[in-house]
A and B are shown apart, each in its own frame.
Chain A
Amino acid sequence: MAHPILEFDRGREVEFNFEGRRIRAFESESIAAALVAEGILTLGWSPKRRRPRGFFCGIGKCSSCLMTVDGVPNVRTCITPVRDGVEVRRQRPLGELPKAPPPEAKAGELDVDLLVIGGGPAGLSAAIEASRLGARVAIADENVRPGGQLIKQTHKFFGSRENYAGVRGIEIARILLRELDGLSATWLTRATVIADYAGRSHDVVVSTPEGPWRIRADAVVVSTGATENMIPFPNNDLPGVMGAGGLQTLMHVFGVVPGESALIVGAGNVGLILAYQLLQAGVDVKAIVEIMPKIGGYAVHAAKVRRMGVPILLRHTLRRAVGRERVEGAEIVRVDESFRPIEGTEERFDVDMIVLAVGLTPSTEVPRQAGAAWDYVPELGGPVPIHDPYLRTSVEGMYVAGDSSGIEEATTAMLEGRVAGAHAAAELGLRPDRAEGVIKEALRQLESFRSGPFSAKVVRGKQRVWERAREVIG
């Protein structure tokens, strides 16, 4: 089916082996996406009860799609591209380590001024600013395609003109990547940072398909994004229960629509936008349930789906997912003032997808491993590295930007990235006068963007973190 916004360049057709079955796919697809497109929704089983598990996050964070690929166990198939002739099997339930030693891998080495970890809106912006100021920059990103979550955002962004307001996320990704192309940053794709041994400089170990890399950097910007939240309800692990971002990845990166009808949990901006995107992909959206007495997202996003006939059921929650091997239905229930289910108000929807849009948690593994001070800040989505307004953490030369510094928006991620990238470059002595101007302007735009009531919570969280930063950052 044609998509009103996207065109898919699927590339060459390839064929791979899945448990003795030949699966046709496109070279642009991940293994997990190709399997889902074939209708194979069970990607593994839970270790104890052998419950089927399926596609959830789509960006290598949730471990729901670990499979054995060419004999290598625990491969995150959602961020592993298909190749001709590759052997894929599910693990029953855990993978087995290969008996033979791995082939000799040639380690890469790199010496840079700045290493950016994560190539989404924050990381790209940091890399662009630092490169512009003359820094030698490397970017490590886990995914096949760079751009982070921007490459799934088919809607136009809010904001001001200088921050790409009115431009779709997918187009912003193209603009940033083009800009970076003209500079001389080194890209490592499908590259997972394992550890940052931070001392006087940063000694970073990176796992890539070719083997391990060792990158020495004077500064590091951590822009690793976030992980989708899960909520407790019976059968929440059934294939067909997906994260909103995971489903966006399937639909908008791979052009795979894994069902015909959906129930969405959560009426924040993510849930509301996703409902509209599902309609655009031809999916019947039965309802959006929201446990709070009001929607969390913008009224305009809610209006878009209401006028297309999608109900938003406030004070409702998901009681259980229905189905044995995959989602066949969703049972919802009304809740009282203390969010307790009201017996007798259950309602069942026949849907094959249940989409969770119930918030995100910052991905902070790298700063925490490196010893950065952190705190649990509910306003920012959970544990965040303590950072100052320049995004400096307590680890010398380590910055954090975007969702990994606190859940917010792509626009603020880009601005934070610019601040961090410019500040890191200036600290290295690279054109500090010009860097100062960049930082000042980005901070001004951040303040303006955060001036409304919708940002009040985030601002409260950031202020607490900045306050703590005065104690822990020298």
Chain B
Amino acid sequence: MKIEAGLPEKLEWIQHSLGFFGPELILFAGIVVVLCVGIIIPSLRAGSGSSTPLVIGLIASLFACAVSLAGWNQETEGLHLFGGMIVNDRFSSWLKIICDVAGALTFLLSLKDQRKHVSEYVALVLSVLLGAHMLSMSVGMIMIFLSLEMISITSYVLAGYSFKQEGAEGSLKYFLFGTASAAVMLYGLSLLYGITGSSIISSQEFVEGLLAHQSLLLLVAGLLALAGFLFKMAALPMHLWAPDVYQAAPMPVVALFSVVPKLAGLAVLTRFVLAATAYGQSLIDWKAIVGLIAIVTITAGNVAALRQSNAKRMMAYSSIAQSGFLLIGVAALTEQSIQFMMFYAAVYFVANYLVFGYLQYFESKGVLTIPDFAGTGRTDPVAHGFLLAGLISLTGIPPTAGFTAKLLIFTGLYDAYRITDDSFLLWIFVPGLLNTVIALFYYLRIPYFAFLRDGDGVPAKYLTWTNFLGLVLVLTLLGLFFRPDGLMGWINKITFVL
């Protein structure tokens, strides 16, 4: 980390770093290509038409994913790149892989209905992915802020991509809320920089600086910084934007929002909390703070979801609650709990895309609110069967991977309790699990209306593209329940160091 080095050394450093920057360069190239294609192809220039840009986006994200996968076995320790601003480790690689696959699925879902300004759309989605890549690797405050804003600004535009009034409203709300929380976060980070004298949160200097100034100011500064990360995760108390944005945005974008920014925010939050606890020496109990946030987020998300009648809004609150479950992994803060959190993230991603895929399918048939689903289960049992599998997985009931994921994340918590004897972990444990019962109540509402209520549905074809995609995702969820060892074997290689 030779910040004070001369120009030639810096250039050499950058050149060296670029070698480990493959996936990001691919995404960047994808953005450039897709924008050029948008200019060259006349029908695209006119603002409508072709699905070529979506295919380019698909290829770019899958290619980026493949490069991350290929590099999986090379990164044993975290590689500090670009003067220590970012770290390339397996923790970030894993999240990048999930984000890339999520991006690819977003493009697949978009094939069906995205017909306006397609190349710009693809460029924006790729930018979100690129921002998520950067954020999940960032340890320098400047990089954190830049990449977080990269996700945010592109997200604001995407949120309004339905080109309707409510879309513009949702987008504006997202923008106002996002700008405010970014400012708050920036203020917190600047205070932290002032306290510690280092802008690299993974550096020894930063940790020592924190330890030397255990004060109320540090608590406030840390909380302010956390606010920005929690905003990206849609966790309490920074969750208010989510329902409006989810309701207004196009379904593929909602699916993207529910996974990619969330996981990127989770990554930076994890790194920050790990640094802030200063190897357990910090006087401020950051784990307890995160634990408290987690349990409040889960409960509030679930309770609010109970009262929703719009399927997208319900899923918005569901994704808020799921953020809380992810945060439990951070609250436990052991190497295992982080690994379990990574497993949970992967399962959450699959189940969420499954659900949103089918919500889009039903939305295209004019089914928007939950009561609209009445009777559709009888006429379209295949789609509802698959949707049920996704919802069951989000609830955490066997035989889906959602159960395994919850089992593991609570195992991590239990084990952290055993090691540290921190009784607050136990206070998360029981309400966290009991929340599953509340969650069941609303996750089952769609199948409940579909199968139990009478209504008229139109007979559906079984052999559709959506059902094929659904089948693949359902089989993934079942497979990860019956054979979780394969994926966990991979995740076990994530050694988490600052």
Q: Do A and B come from one complex?
A: no
Q: A residues touching B (Cβ–Cβ < 8 Å)?
A: none
